[in-house]
Amino acid sequence: MAGEGAVLRPPRNALAPAAVGWWRTQWLALTAAPVVVLAVLGALLAPARPWLLSVAAGLAAAGALCAALLPPWWYRVHRWEVTDDAVYVRTGYFWQESRIAPMSRIQTVDTVRGPLERLFALATVTVTTASAKGALRIEGLHHEVAADLAERLTRITGATPGDAT
């Protein structure tokens, strides 16, 4: 479903470098909750203490290792680009996915800044298209870049002929 001039190719733009810290924080927060629960249960339940505390320690070590190694890798993989013809996005960790959304297929453009994103001065731009595959999400953009991108996409899609269906 590529539009005229839209060719599947690697996108040129990297995310904001702060995305690495954002991903690390998300990973550590996700890991911390079960580690704390297991550690508290291990402290309270004497018969299961060694088992629960060892699981908590293993999970904490795995979470710390993943937080250290995965975000830099994700930063190298995730790319995005916008031309006058299309939006290009490449995401994925083990299975990488490249998607292209021709301007004539874009229906809405949204920006989101959750509390953690605001802490890292980041934002997510969601490009909703007339596609069964769903919206394209560009996460980890500096919030000013995201605002400029949303404005640019709105301007381009408004000037692009077609009904986005």
pLDDT one-digit tens code per residue, 42-77: 889 888 888 999 999 999 999 999 999 999 999 999
Provide the pLDDT confidence category of residue 15 given band limits of 50, 70 and 90.
very high
Domain ranges, ordered by start, for the chain: 19-74, 80-159
| Contact between residue 138 and residue 124 where contact means Cβ atoms under 8 Å apart | yes
The pTM assigned to this predicted structure is 0.85
Between 134 and 112, whose confidence is greater?
Answer: 112
**pLDDT score at 165:** 56
Question: Domain 80-159: which CATH class?
Answer: mainly beta
* Beta-ladder partners of 137: 126
The span from the CA of 135 to the CA of 98, in Å, is 13
Cβ count within 10 A of residue 137: 17
**Mean of pLDDT over the chain:** 90
> What is the rounded CA–CA span in Å between residue 4 and residue 119?
39
∠ CA 118-124-127, nearest 5°, is 155
Res 131 pLDDT > 90: no
